Amino acid sequence: MLASLSKRLKGRVFLVGIGNILRGDDAAGPLLIERLAGKVKADLLDASEVPESYIGRIAGRRPDTIMLVDAADMGADPGAIAIIEIENLREQSFSSHQMGLNLFMRCLQTVTGADVFLLGIQPRVTGFGAKFSPKVAETIHCLEEFFMEVLAGKEEL
């Protein structure tokens, strides 16, 4: 899966973390963005729970690839990851942001012409005030190392 992800990260890359830091594993997207700050040659954005507020900012950077990172209930083991395409969001409920993400991703694709997709991370707990689970923390650590390696050779932005 990481090999196919690596192939998708072409040109100017924009990584967008989505989630609520007060809801346990739902913080996966923002946490990964925080951990990558200053370590990769890509645009990074913690969009929290309102990614649609950042369409202009993202489009203004003229990205070739836009990858959203969000906790997504895929019915898998906690910490599992998957690339989720726009067309799959309308058919299945992966994320608490599902309705908004579908429209948001389509809008980004239309405005930028970029390859837009979601990297879903299976949460274990997402209740208000829940602690971040060890399995998801392990996945975030692995993804941090992966992106540091894959995005280290990109041209300066």
CATH classification at residue 6: 3.40.50.1450
Token representation of residue 58: 């993202």
Q: Is residue 26 part of a domain?
A: yes
What pLDDT is attached to residue 154?
54
CA 66/CA 69 separation, integer angstroms: 10
Q: Is residue 25 part of a domain?
A: yes
Q: Is residue 157 part of a domain?
A: no
Q: Is 70 helix (H, G, I), strand (E, B) or coil?
A: strand
pLDDT digits (tens, 9 = 90+) for 120-150: 999 999 989 899 999 999 999 999 999 999 9
| Residue 72 scores a pLDDT above 80 | yes
Q: Is residue 155 part of a domain?
A: no
Q: Is residue 54 part of a domain?
A: yes
In which domain, by residue range, is 89 found?
2-150
Q: Is residue 55 part of a domain?
A: yes
Q: Global pTM?
A: 0.90
Number of domains in the chain: 1
Is residue 21 within a helix (H) or strand (E), and if so which, with residue range?
none
Among 94-98, 114-118, 152-156, which range has the highest average pLDDT?
114-118
Q: Is residue 17 part of a domain?
A: yes
